Amino acid sequence: LIGIVAPWNYPLSMGVTDALPALMAGNAVIEKPDSQTPFTLLWALDLLVECGLPEDLYQVVYGAGAKLGPALFVADYLQFTGSTATGRLVAKEAGARLIGCSLELGGKNPMLVLADADLDHTVGGAVRGCFASAGQLCVSIERIYVHESIHERFLAAFVAATRAIRLGVGLAWTYDEPLGDISTVPTFA
């Protein structure tokens, strides 16, 4: 039995990304989605059952993490995506039970910009890496290390590109992206 605790962001993809391989490897799954997004995972489970997955092989439990989290330790392996603080608790409990666990915790994902970087492309990648989905991704860039020989040029271009981001509410692809072609943002080369 594989126990999974899924995060709130990207409730469909993050909800099933760990469950599908576990199921394909012959395991049963019990999963607790985030309390803000439980219906997405229930919808995905309905689709899997419709496609032939036995109904009892994959179970979704809903409720507060503080109450349900400890109950998931009936599993033989745990997958947790969430905060570092909770990840420490999961690791401690898994260690006490001598079961395996996988922890995908909020990171401090760095980007490294070397002296020979093409700034027109690098700045665009940095902006997308930092601000896609309003930066609410566990893989979002949180620190940028820039070689000192190009630091000032990179910083000026990055600030200009960041100021050009279009913020908004909606499902349009035009939000959360730099305005226009990122290659038109001056790099001050």
Task: Name the residues annotated as catalytic.
Answer: 104, 138
Per the listing, tokens 């469909």 go with: 12
Q: Are 65 and 36 in contact (CB under 8 A)?
A: no
Among 66, 61, 63, 64, which Cα is nearest to 86's?
66
User: Using CA atoms, how far apart are residues 143 and 134, in angstroms rounded to an integer?
Assistant: 15
Q: Are 109 and 142 in contact (CB under 8 A)?
A: yes
3-state percent helix, strand, coil for the chain, nearest multiple of 5: 40, 15, 40
With b meaning 16 or more CB within 10 Å and e meaning fewer, what string describes 46-72? Answer: eebeeeebeeeebebeeeebeebbeeb
